[in-house]
Structure 1
Amino acid sequence: MAFGRLASAKPDAPMSDINVTPMVDVMLVLLVIFILTAPLMTSAIRLDLPQAEGAEAGSSPQAVSLVVDAQGALFLNDKAISPEALRLRLAEVAKRNPNTELELRADQTVPYGRVVEAMGLAQKAGLTRIGFVAQTPVTGTR
């Protein structure tokens, strides 16, 4: 036996396949981010909703959202609207489908009279199904 080099194998050819594992990891992280942020995007108007115990709201076949913020401003489907324009829009909605439900979200600091005015506009427009949206109280914090 002589000293020297052992016979070496042929060098490996460069890999020509794309490694998709990092791309899949990034896509899964983005998916998790979208899943976590989607519920936060449902309503962009900050409200301090009153708390009430009750059953979870069922999903209605068709609904419009009316928000009365702390300053008493009106928002229909998260868009600012004047009382006169609101009356016209609600009349259009009632004409298309009289069974449409109005989801009323009012800040708890809003005077009750302002909420009743909003309800009156909806009833005059022909919407009779009005649902009040509230938060469920947090238990065990006291």
Structure 2
Amino acid sequence: MAVNLGSNDSGDLAENADINITPFIDVILVLLIIFMVAAPLSTVDVPVELPVSAAPQQPRPDKPIFVSVKADLGVALGEDAVDRPALGAALDAATKGNKDERIFLRADKGVPYGELMGVMNLLRGAGYLKVGLVGLEDTSGGGQP
């Protein structure tokens, strides 16, 4: 509590209800410095090698629809090569317009991740949201190639 020492006719010391905010500002500045130091440390870029999936194999549909991204970055629907802009129309013909049909997307091991995401964006843009990624089954049991 603070006391006002100014002249007072009654002779009693009146209480001053002001809060001393200096310690509060000190604490805030220390927290600011801590967060300024800690924030860049939490966003470190780390190269990642994705593991082989050991998930149980799902039952295969009678007539699966495969979209493949080849090593030369060409796209194929089943066995037929398809231009990327025509992929949506080709899928509509293969699925008879059924947008709920699961599309199996597979890509060559050397295809850049950005190219694979580009094909997934084409599938999403055409209205096909059920996309399954195809990979090799890990038979060694270790989870790593």
Could you say if the C-alpha distance between residues 88 and 116 of structure 1 is closer, same or farther in structure 2, counting changes exceeding 3 Å?
A: same
Structure 2: gaps spanning 5 or more residues: 1-50
| Greater RCO (CA < 8 Å, at least 6 residues apart) | 1
**Whose radius of gyration is greater, 1 or 2?**
2
Q: Give the deviation of 1:136 after TM superposition.
A: 1.1
Question: What is the aligned partner in structure 2 of residue 54 from structure 1?
Answer: 55
Check conservation: 2:71, 2:108, Cα contact below 8 A. yes
2:127 maps to what in 1? 126
Distance 1:66 1:135 in 2: 16
- Verify the 8 A CA contact 2:92 2:98 in the aligned structure 1: no
Q: TM-score, normalised by structure 1?
A: 0.56
User: Is the Cα contact below 8 Å between 1:73 and 1:80 reproduced in 2?
Assistant: yes
Pairing 1:130-141 to 2, within 5 Å after superposition: 130-139=131-140
Count of residue pairs brought into register by the alignment: 93
Secondary structure of 1:96's counterpart equals: coil
Aligned partners of 1:137, 1:88: CA distance in 2, in Å? Answer: 35
- Where structure 1 has 5 or more consecutive residues not aligned to the other structure, the ranges are 1-49
Partner of 2:13: none
Contact 1:64-1:101 within 8 A present in 2 as well:
yes
